[in-house]
Amino acid sequence: IKEKDLDSFKDHNNTAMFKGGATYADAITFGSDVIEKKLIDDFSKVKGKKTVPFKGWDSDLTEYLELYNDLAGK
């Protein structure tokens, strides 16, 4: 790990943890309807990663299944 790899985590808070995780993730999913505006703004600018927004607790999970299949190369 290089010092620059830790830049996303430099604020030492939950937002930094989410940003750091998203930096190295294959995709970004939201698991709640309560998301910090800063995260939504930052993640909306991410290019090249599939983003799955939160669609409610009783929503259809087909989009997640398709995401996992895409990531697995199926």
Q: What is the pLDDT of residues 12-70, one digit of tens each?
A: 888 888 888 888 888 888 888 888 888 888 777 777 888 888 888 888 888 888 988 99
Q: What are phi and psi of 42, to 5 degrees?
A: -65, -45
Q: What is the pLDDT of residues 1-18, one digit of tens each?
A: 888 888 888 888 888 888
Query: Which two structure tokens, joined as six digits, stand for 74?
Result: 């199926």
Q: What are phi and psi of 28, to 5 degrees?
A: -125, 125
DSSP state of 39: H
Spatial distance between the Cα atoms of 70 and 42, rounded to a whole number of angstroms: 24
- Counting other chains too, the contacts that 53-56 makes at CB distance below 8 Å and 24 or more residues apart are 54/30
* pTM > 0.75: no
Determine how many CB atoms are found less than 10 A away from the CB of residue 16: 15
